[in-house]
Structure 1
Amino acid sequence: MKRLFLTALLFIAHPAGAAETLTASAPDTVEERVKPCIVCHGPEDKKGRDAYYPRIAGKPEGYLFNQLRNFRDGKRHYQPMALLLEGLPDPYLREMAAYFASLKQAFPPPEPMRASSAEIELARKLVTRGDPSRKIPACVECHGKDLMGTPPFIPGLLGLPRVYLIAQFGNWQHGGLMRGQTPDCMSEIAKQLTTNEASIIAEWLAAQPVSEARFKREEPAPTLPDELARRCASIVLQSGLPQ
């Protein structure tokens, strides 16, 4: 694993030199440069510990670019990612983001849901209607009515492992490893949820099937409530991508 990681680091940080050193026949293309990413973010159905590595194929380019910058700049913490991206310029990260955004991969089957009928109904309510009394917007307001994301900056929520979603909620709620652009609207929203609510939302999302037709349909960006739009506006303004 140590050798694999060092090889991955060499490919990402110095793609042309690494390609020449490791194999003279390897082309200097974006497909070759991002091969280390595939080790963790490959198309295989992830199980166990590997389920913490999310699917990135087909996610919005702007979202992927922001996350790459966050890892590189220390706003999102995961040491292997920080090492792989250290010193890479924004144009390089944009190229990586564009590549993965263009990929199409089959979605994994939905996970079984063991929650009670009351918990399932609560999860559905929070996802589709939110809780205005606690200023919790519905997930569909930002992530699209089909929860498949709204390009260029908001990712889909379906096709992700339950354990990954739970881990992300925990990071947002406790202000630890997930710090995006400021203001971080997801952190604000997640902190309004109880631990049980976050858990059943993650379980509900992981249990939803994803069809290819659902994935391919283009959907215009949603019109957000004024307060939520103000809180999230800086994500677009600081993205560095065309608006």
Structure 2
Amino acid sequence: MRSKYLRFICRFAAAGLVFAAGAAAAAPAVTADNGKIPDTIAQRVAACVVCHGKEGRAGSDGYYPRIAGKPAGYLYNQLINFRDGKRTYPVMTAMLENMSDAYLREIAQYFSEQHPPYPEPQAAQSNPAELERGRRLVHDGDKAKGIPACVACHSAKMTGTAPAIPGLIGLPRDYLLGQIGAWKIGTRHAAQPDCMADIVKKMSAEDISAAAAWLSEQRVPADASPAPAITAKLPLECGKLAP
């Protein structure tokens, strides 16, 4: 079972199931009166929604995540990480390599202000024992392994924390497996100290599968806004949690 999950995780992580924009731009909107393409931020991010879905609500294939409503600081940090090589996906790197910090911040701000409805959670794919293990990891962590609870950083409702910690619900299981797996095999990095990498190293393949399963099956609350900034000490020191 362990080798099965590790192969599954590595396959998705290596396939680049990451925060990614479309390689091709959407069809440009043309004004009826003069035939010109409007120079708006919504038009300029048209390439992003090819993969990330209308308003950034997520692709239908489970590979491209929801970016709508994520904290602007988090989105900005991820754009920087793709541009500068901390996250690896050739399409994203090619699209971002010549963009300035200021422009990436503008893109991040735009998507953080989009709030389309969330889809229904995925149908159950796991047995009750695995889901209970996932619930415990999310809410309590595993002290014996030194794994902190996910809610300690990502907020009690798992909708993220301002200004730079993302929400973890409303995402497909495959995407969650891919991202956690990318940290596990060392193909995803964040600013040092990379707290997520430290945490994931302590998680078994079964732990990763359980957490992803439980998160993907949760209904997103009516108010899915990120929680206010954390004032208490975090379980681990994390690099660049501020934009």
Shorter chain as normaliser: what TM range? 0.7 to 0.9
Residue of structure 1 equivalent to 2:69: 58
Q: Helix, strand or coil: the match of 1:134?
A: coil
Please give the root-mean-square deviation of Cα atoms over the aligned residues, in Å: 2.2
- CA deviation after TM superposition for structure 1 residue 221, in Å: 2.6
- CA deviation after TM superposition for structure 1 residue 46, in Å: 3.9
Residue of structure 1 equivalent to 2:223: 214
1:31 and 2:42 aligned = yes
Alignment of 1:21-170 (within 5 A): 25-43=36-54, 46-47=59-60, 50-170=61-181
Per the normalisation by structure 2, the TM-score is: 0.82
Residue pair 1:72, 1:82 contacting (<8 A) in 2 also: yes
Residue of structure 2 equivalent to 1:8: 25
Residue pair 2:58, 2:66 contacting (<8 A) in 1 also: no
How far apart are the structure 1 equivalents of 2:80 and 2:219? 31
Q: Identity rate of aligned residues, in percent?
A: 46
Q: Among residues 187, 212, 226, which one is paired with 2:197 in the alignment?
A: 187
Residue pair 2:71, 2:160 contacting (<8 A) in 1 also: yes
Higher relative contact order (CA 8 A, sep 6+): 2
Per the normalisation by structure 1, the TM-score is: 0.82
Residue pair 2:153, 2:234 contacting (<8 A) in 1 also: no
How far apart are the structure 1 equivalents of 2:193 and 2:168? 21
1:203 and 2:220 aligned = no
Q: Helix, strand or coil: the match of 2:93?
A: helix
**Structure 1: where are the runs of 5+ without partners?**
12-18
State how many pairs are aligned. Answer: 215
- CA deviation after TM superposition for structure 1 residue 115, in Å: 2.1
Residue pair 1:141, 1:224 contacting (<8 A) in 2 also: no
Residue pair 2:152, 2:234 contacting (<8 A) in 1 also: no
Quick check: which one's helix share is greater? 1
Residue pair 2:152, 2:235 contacting (<8 A) in 1 also: no
Question: After TM superposition, which residue ranges in structure 1, 4 or more long, deviate above 3 angstroms?
Answer: 43-47, 222-227
